[in-house]
A = this chain, B = another copy of it.
């Protein structure tokens, strides 16, 4: 898309203002907004207030709204012709332990060099304060260079994404009328690679369940009872083993019933991404894909559901040995879902399967740990096409459409509560070490992320 004098001016403003943008980012990174730890509740409030203040200064009507947990910042820009977008990001961060593995103070942001690239090192640099500010600074550049935003923009910036986010859906329901827009924008995802921007249009959903199998009503001595008493470790292992067939598929009845094959054109596009399976697995010390034996890794991650045993425990697990037959054994099991799958139905099928496998004298207790459906953004939408164009213009090569194996529940909430499709656009990289020590955001991600949003907003306005 050809640039306009206005767009050129805004982009120039981004470049000139980069140092000031960084200063604002550093200010936000210094606020210890760890949402999961009640000790940092005041820091979370501080972060929300600071953001609301910045947005008000930019002409938004912004405020930090109370919830039963941390505040949600809601901001509305002036009325404009063209589409109305609702931007989402989160200002809370993960805890920083193990602190001793950080090379610098996680809340004292620094510019460092890594492999010849400049990086911003701090907790939240990438996830999600850095990403959030790419959008806010893009708005600022528009305002400074042209005196106005190019389209109507609202924002909803939450503070509990890293700690379960249970208060956001009720907040959205309570304020659904106010939050109405034409499309949601989320900045919390990766680029495809260092030079290729991407929009994530498929996100897997999640059903998480915990099961506790009880056999005898007390722990038993395996000498005194072994071979005659039911061992819940054995029962649990048999249940877990039964969840996967030898070909790697999940055995729950009806599990794949609502799973569609990906359209040929999407498959062709994914094949064209040049995804290197060996490299992907090699980075974590693996060489061969597990899972469904006839599917590519990318397909398995983006377009196929899975069942994972996230935790299991039973009996004596300390040092040494204890010849016990425990009374109970537990497992935490999750299913990643793809488009079309109903979380309720999968949970019910799982529980029915477990109950059907229970031998005599065994009982099971289920504890649900949340569930959300998968999200697919229609690949033929006008907003998607425009946003892709904006990204392509900035990076000088076509932006790609990708899936993600992870789950971003807010995208599901945008759809179910507000009826909005979501464009997931982000500038993070897989080596950003989010949730880990020494989290970083490439300076290029920040700078060109701002420029990218400037162009995406222009494209959406066009």
Which A residues are closer than 8 A to B by beta carbons? 36-38, 94-95, 162-164, 204, 206, 208, 210, 215-231, 233-234, 236-238, 240-244, 280-281, 284-292, 297, 300-301, 304-306, 308-326, 329-332, 334, 336, 359-361, 369-370, 404-407, 430, 433-437
A311 x B306 contact (CB < 8 A): no
Contacting residues, chain B, for A229 (C-beta < 8 A): 281, 284, 286, 289-290
A289 x B321 contact (CB < 8 A): no
Contacts A36-B321, A228-B301 given; indicate if A221 touches B95 (C-beta within 8 A).
Answer: no
Chain B residue nearest to A407 (CB atoms) is B223
Contacting residues, chain B, for A208 (C-beta < 8 A): 321, 323
**In the complex, what distance in Å separates the CA atom of A286 from the CA atom of B217?**
8
A229-B284, A234-B240, A321-B332 are known contacts; what are 12 more A-B pairs with Cβ within 8 Å?
A: A37-B318, A204-B223, A218-B436, A225-B284, A227-B292, A227-B405, A233-B331, A241-B241, A285-B361, A310-B321, A312-B317, A323-B407
Contacting residues, chain B, for A204 (C-beta < 8 A): 223
Chain B residue nearest to A285 (CB atoms) is B217
Q: A231 contacts which of B224, B238, B290, B361 (Cβ < 8 Å)?
A: B290
Chain B residue nearest to A237 (CB atoms) is B240
Contacting residues, chain B, for A219 (C-beta < 8 A): 435-437
Contacting residues, chain B, for A242 (C-beta < 8 A): 241
Contacting residues, chain B, for A434 (C-beta < 8 A): 221
A221 x B290 contact (CB < 8 A): no
Closest CB-CB distance, A352 to chain B, in whole Å?
A: 19
